[in-house]
Amino acid sequence: MKTVQIIAEVRKTVSDARSGGAAVGFVPTMGALHEGHLSLIDAARSACDFVAVSIFVNPTQFAPGEDLATYPGGIEADLSACEARGADLVFVPDVETMYPRGAVTSVSVSGLSETLCGRSRPTHFAGVCTVVTKLLNIVRPDKAFFGRKDFQQLVIVTRMVEDLDIPVEIVSCPIVRHADGLAMSTRNQRLSAAVRLQAVALHAALESAVARIRQSHPPAAEVIASAREYLSTNAPDGEIDYIQIVDPQTLRDVETTDRIVLLALAVKFPGARLIDNMLVDSAGEGQ
């Protein structure tokens, strides 16, 4: 495995691999890797001949007052994990490499970025889109792998590469969960033991909502109200940021649940803001 900090070296290494006929897969991360991230590397390894991973805590997707300064790290453990899972190249740039002094260009996707997490984090997705565009231009992969836990990000990035004619396939990968259902997240490690027990209520609330939809396809407002009540009771230390039921392609709120819908929520706990979602088909089957 090769660890690289310079853009030109990334491009040469990937170009050499491609000249030998290799299909290139790419997994962008912010480090502090867990099994969710590593499952993306596994997916890339299965689908591609050459796997590149980036580890970069992107400052432009953090608003003032968010947790940029305290975002979990651990580069040596991350590099060891990447090597163990079969990554061929790990790109670990610094901020100056990704954002040279004087850089003023940003990328945004209107409409899709203003709902769900975008309501409370209005600058977040412009930061995500900008860094992902830069990384795709640097690595130039055939396929890039994103997890469905960040479903809004997945939809936005997919639309962005379509609109900008970036020649890459965005591959959607399943949410990876702990045994108790909590979606794996770098920020989970910040939860106290007591709050960690409450955090499982996110997945439980989604499962309960899916059961209600399966049973009778009630109006979305009823499902949301029930989920809100469940979280208020079972996660009392959490502040609900949002609970929404949306169209999974447009991310617009829907009123009915007799169609494919995305149930998504975000809850702020002491130490961490957690998100989760579940896609429900017309038969009420959760994914």
SS3 271: coil
Q: What DSSP character marks residue 114?
A: S
Rounded CA-CA distance 199/106 in Å is 34
Burial degree of 165 (CB within 10 A; 0-12, 13-18, 19+): exposed
Instruction: Judge whether 34 counts as a catalytic residue.
Output: no
Q: Of 37, 124, 203, 217, which residue is the catalytic one? A: 37
Q: Which long-range contacts (CB under 8 A, 24 or more apart) does 94-101 make?
A: 94/5, 95/59, 97/5, 97/6, 97/7, 98/56, 98/58, 98/131, 98/134, 99/59, 99/60
Token couple for 20: 């030998």
Choose among 87, 107, 89: nearest CA to 37. Answer: 87
SS3 56: coil
Rounded CA-CA distance 40/54 in Å is 12
Rounded CA-CA distance 255/235 in Å is 26
Choose among 281, 283, 34, 22: nearest CA to 139. Answer: 22
Catalytic machinery residues: 37
